[in-house]
Amino acid sequence: MNAKQKQINAGMPDNQRRQLLKTGAVVAGSAALGYASLARAQSGPIRIGHLTPMTGFLGALGEYAVQGIKMAAEEINASGGLLGRQIDLITEDSVNPQTAATKAQRMIERDKVDFLLGEISSASALTIAQVAARNKVLFMSIGARSDTLRGKDCNRFTFHVDIPVTVMVNAAGEALAREGFVRGKRIYALTSDYVFGHDLSRAAKSFFARNGGTVVGEEVVPTDLTDFSAHLVKIRQARPDLIATNLAGNQVTNFVKQYSEFGLKFPVAGFNLNTADAWAAGEDNLGGIWPTVWHHELKTPGSQAFVQKFTKKYNRIPENHAWIEYVSLMMLAQAIRETKSVDTERVIRYFESEAQFDVLKARKAYFRSWDHQLMQEAYPFTVKPKGQSKHKQDFLLFGEAVPGPSESLEKLAPTKADNVCKM
């Protein structure tokens, strides 16, 4: 205590002097507790809030998503963690958009998560992204594909990993056009009634119009529809040259199975079909041309190693949502290592630097700085000729990567001029 302070204290009544000493002790104690809390925060686990649908029409895909991200977290922890800290992965069923938003907020407030990851439903991803932006928490939207999320509803706290609707339509559409299924053809569409399906429909209609096709009818169906018989009757009456599906999740599986049972012979193609749903449809029911973001037959060392590890661990072949969740957490891990931080702003700046990531494909990927979309290869696929499959998940025939090896990864994606995204 300096001389001036002694003089002040000497002139104080005893009760004031005692109160001052108590206050000083409280302040010192609070500071010590603050330093201790900070130390615990810097040495405790890195908490990841993971939301994905485990029930409903996307539930089968969510099961793969959970397995993929869990495997990535276990590998990271087994190798020593990140910055000397373990990953604490908190996974919950997102259920629907309202529940997803509530759970995201609870993860931030109660669980004190450092980052939010996951989701497949575009509608739920939108509500999670809004929560992330309000709370200034980084959200990696892993499996949602709606263009709207990257367009008018974009925000600087959200990064998009899966290929967007426009890329899916262009990837499958170019293959359809090469095979003569578009120009001069009459097309009948089926569209899932939520944000993703409507985005698919808009992009598909634009592609058909640019390439000389005509949409002669469209059925908008609820996401919980399981019986397509009424729609199949309308298709039979319309007699189109091509049926284009803008459906999602197990809707596609249900439709192609029932289409086969009806005995209709019109060609079927679509702009969204995850490999798990294709497997569920079965070799005898599926046909046409479809897009995917990844598949287990990719002949890169990274993909083959991932398939081997996943199959050994879970006793089944990984589907594209298992892969994308796995690489998403690995990309976040790279950002944390490079920035030596879990600070949201630092990680955002790292992603926006267009740093490259190994996503187990032939070419590395990067996030575009202005709309936060991951630029990567995609693949068209169809069905192998009868008798060529070796087992029940071996009947898909995958095409070469698009864009091609000498083309820009941004060739099929919406351009900045076409996108209304403003961060």
List pLDDT tens digits, range 6-18.
444 444 555 554 5
With a cut of 50, say whether residue 23 has pLDDT above it: no
With a cut of 70, say whether residue 30 has pLDDT above it: no
pLDDT on residue 34: 40
- Model pLDDT for residues 75-125, shown as the tens digit of each residue: 999 999 999 999 999 999 999 999 999 999 999 999 999 999 999 999 999
The single residue listed with the structure tokens 């499959």 is 389
16 against 305, higher pLDDT: 305
Which string of DSSP letters, residue by residue, matches 298-353?
Answer: --SHHHHHHHHHHHHHHSSPPPHHHHHHHHHHHHHHHHHHHHT---HHHHHHHHHT
Beta bridge mates, 269 = 244
Based on the number of CB atoms within 10 Å of its own CB, is 238 exposed (0-12), middle (13-18) or buried (19 or more)? middle
What integer is the mean pLDDT of 132-137? 98
- Mean pLDDT (the chain) is 91
What is the reported pTM?
Answer: 0.87
Q: Which of 312, 292, 308 is nearest to 300 (CA)?
A: 308
> What are the φ and ψ backbone dihedral angles of 374, each rounded to 5 degrees?
-75, 125
- As a whole number of angstroms, the distance between CA 73 and CA 328 comes to 11
With a cut of 70, say whether residue 71 has pLDDT above it: yes
On whether the CB atoms of residues 360 and 147 are closer than 8 A, the answer is no
| Domain map (residue ranges) of the chain | 10-43, 46-163+299-375, 166-292+379-398
- Which residues are CB-neighbours of 381 under 8 A, at least 6 positions away? 278, 289, 290, 291, 292, 295, 396, 397, 398, 399
- Model pLDDT for residues 225-243, shown as the tens digit of each residue: 999 999 999 999 999 999 9
Neighbours of 196 (CB within 10 A): 28
Position 423 confidence tier, pLDDT thresholds 50, 70, 90 = confident
Question: Please, what's the b/e burial string for 388-406 (b: 16 or more CB within 10 A of its CB; e: otherwise)?
Answer: eeeeebebbebbebbbeee
The amino acid that residue 252 corresponds to is V
What is the SS3 assignment for 107?
helix
With a cut of 50, say whether residue 33 has pLDDT above it: no
Any idea which of 39-53, 154-168, 200-214, 226-240 has the lowest mean pLDDT?
A: 39-53
- What Cα–Cα distance (Å) separates residue 268 from each residue in 75, 231, 244, 264, 369? 41, 14, 6, 10, 37
The single residue listed with the structure tokens 């997803």 is 100
The single residue listed with the structure tokens 């030596």 is 340
- How are the residues of the chain apportioned to helix, strand and coil, as percentages rounded to the nearest 5? 45, 15, 40
Position 42 confidence tier, pLDDT thresholds 50, 70, 90 = low
Same fold, 46-163+299-375 and 166-292+379-398: yes
Instruction: Retrieve residue 161's tokens.
Output: 């990993």
pLDDT on residue 336: 98
- Model pLDDT for residues 292-302, shown as the tens digit of each residue: 999 999 999 99
Q: Which CATH superfamily is domain 46-163+299-375 in?
A: Response regulator (3.40.50.2300)
- As a whole number of angstroms, the distance between CA 148 and CA 126 comes to 9
161 against 35, higher pLDDT: 161
Radius of gyration of the chain (CA): 26
pLDDT on residue 267: 93
Position 361 confidence tier, pLDDT thresholds 50, 70, 90 = very high
Position 43 confidence tier, pLDDT thresholds 50, 70, 90 = confident
On whether the CB atoms of residues 358 and 368 are closer than 8 A, the answer is no
Q: Determine the CATH number of domain 166-292+379-398.
A: 3.40.50.2300
- Model pLDDT for residues 321-354, shown as the tens digit of each residue: 999 999 999 999 999 999 999 999 999 999 999 9
- Model pLDDT for residues 92-103, shown as the tens digit of each residue: 999 999 999 999
pLDDT on residue 193: 95
Give the containing element (helix H, strand E) for 259: helix 250-262
Query: What letter does residue 415 receive in the DSSP assignment?
Result: P
